[in-house]
């Protein structure tokens, strides 16, 4: 496993992070979930990403239990705040940030998180209030650093312009071979300000593993076949996309890589990406994904990937 520095922070994290969206405390059975976490540490993953809203606290509670007894300094722990935890608990107001960080820490069984992230931008709270509250969370020692997920460039810049507040060290956008939009503005802006990218859905909800084939019913044990986990996959499962992805198979085979390893190596080719978050339901998936760390793809391979996937990419990503 290779490691990279997260933005201008002093956090050194594995090139792959273990995520818990839709899986732990929810769609994956407890024994399998525990096995995935243990396997992550076995293969050198030291970065765990979660959020308070995952399973309405269930993912954090699960991680708090499974990480209990493990040296806290041996891993980097990240969580998030924004989405509704109840009809009255949501957003990035100062009151919510202070309430939710305390609740997250209690569930996680720790005194601090290494990274506290705004899960989305809150248009209903003044940015100054949000940033001041996040600064207080850091000053209180409850979080070492702060980040954001899926903020627009103007929102990122507005936060950077505020004086006397904690600065972001991380951005968490969706990014994959099939979803390249952050390359246009978010990546360059963040790079200029020492903000690293922790990308989510690098395997496009599993589509880039090649297990979903056009016109074929999804495997019974797959995310697409699980009603608890497949709510975000409809666009990715069009025949146009699935057919293009199947054409990546010969490229992966020629490099002696799995499809997942090819997709993750493609992500990590960009040094602006600090880590890619994987979501695994079986420990074998964790081990397979981890083997992508350190894989170098030639310019010829990258060009062939672009050619093969061109029919599946949005028009903006082809230009």
Indicate which residues carry an active-site annotation.
Answer: 54
- Cβ burial 91-130 (10 Å sphere, 16+ → b, else e): bbbbebbeebbebbbebbbbebbbbbbbbbbbeebebeeb
Q: Which long-range contacts (CB under 8 A, 24 or more apart) does 250-257 make?
A: 251/301, 251/304, 251/305, 251/308, 252/210, 255/295, 255/297, 255/301, 257/292, 257/295
Average pLDDT in the chain? 92
The pLDDT score that the predictor gives to residue 21 is: 86
Mean pLDDT score, 116-139? 98
The pLDDT score that the predictor gives to residue 232 is: 46
Alpha helices by DSSP H, the chain:
30-42, 58-66, 94-108, 127-139, 153-161, 186-192, 239-246, 249-254, 259-268, 283-290, 299-309, 315-318
Is the predicted pLDDT of residue 217 greater than 80, yes or no?
Answer: no
CB-based contact 16:7 (threshold 8 Å)? no
For the segment 50-79, what is each residue's pLDDT rounded down to a tens digit? 999 999 999 999 999 999 999 999 999 999
Tell me which residue has tokens 């792959």: 16
Mean pLDDT score, 233-239? 66
* Plot region of 9 (φ>0 → left; ψ -120 to 50 → alpha; else → beta): beta
The pLDDT score that the predictor gives to residue 283 is: 96
Maximum distance among all Cα pairs of the chain, rounded to whole angstroms: 55
The pLDDT score that the predictor gives to residue 237 is: 66
CB-based contact 266:180 (threshold 8 Å)? no
Mean pLDDT score, 279-295? 96
For the segment 189-200, what is each residue's pLDDT rounded down to a tens digit? 999 999 999 999
Question: What is the three-class DSSP state of 150?
Answer: coil
CB-based contact 175:148 (threshold 8 Å)? no
Mean pLDDT score, 71-90? 97
CB-based contact 313:53 (threshold 8 Å)? no
Mean pLDDT score, 236-262? 94
Cα distance between residue 275 and residue 168, in whole Å: 16
Q: What dihedral angle (degrees, nearest 10) is formed by the CA atoms of 308, 314, 316, 317?
A: -40
pTM: 0.92
């Amino acid at each position: 496993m290779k490691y990279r520095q997260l933005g201008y922070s002093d956090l050194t994290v594995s090139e792959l992070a273990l995520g818990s969206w839709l899986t732990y405390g929810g769609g994956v059975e407890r024994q399998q979930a525990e096995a995935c976490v243990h396997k992550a540490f076995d293969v050198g993953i030291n970065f765990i990403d979660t959020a308070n809203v995952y399973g309405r606290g269930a993912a954090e509670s699960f991680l708090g239990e499974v990480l209990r007894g493990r040296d806290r300094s041996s891993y980097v722990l990240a969580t998030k705040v924004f989405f509704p935890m109840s009809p009255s608990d949501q957003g990035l107001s100062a009151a919510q940030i202070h309430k939710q960080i305390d609740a997250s820490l209690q569930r996680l069984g720790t005194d601090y998180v290494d990274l506290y992230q705004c899960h989305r931008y809150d248009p209903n709270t003044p940015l100054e209030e949000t940033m001041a509250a996040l600064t207080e969370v850091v000053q209180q020692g409850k979080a070492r650093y702060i980040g954001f997920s899926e903020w627009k460039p103007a929102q990122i810049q507005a936060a950077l312009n505020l004086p006397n507040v904690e600065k972001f060290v991380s951005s968490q956008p969706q990014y994959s071979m099939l979803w390249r939009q952050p390359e246009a503005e978010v990546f360059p802006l963040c790079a200029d300000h020492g903000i690293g990218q922790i990308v989510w859905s690098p395997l496009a909800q599993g589509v880039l593993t090649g297990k979903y084939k056009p016109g074929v019913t999804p495997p019974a044990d797959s995310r697409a076949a699980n009603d608890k986990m497949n709510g975000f996959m409809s666009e990715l499962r069009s025949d146009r996309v699935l057919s293009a992805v199947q054409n990546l198979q010969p490229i992966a085979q020629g490099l002696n890589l799995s499809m997942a390893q090819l997709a993750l190596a493609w992500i990590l080719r960009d040094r602006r990406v600090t880590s890619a978050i994987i979501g695994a339901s079986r420990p074998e998936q964790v081990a397979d994904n981890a083997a992508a760390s350190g894989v170098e793809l030639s310019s010829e391979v990258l060009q062939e990937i672009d050619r093969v996937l061109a029919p599946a990419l949005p028009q903006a990503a082809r230009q």
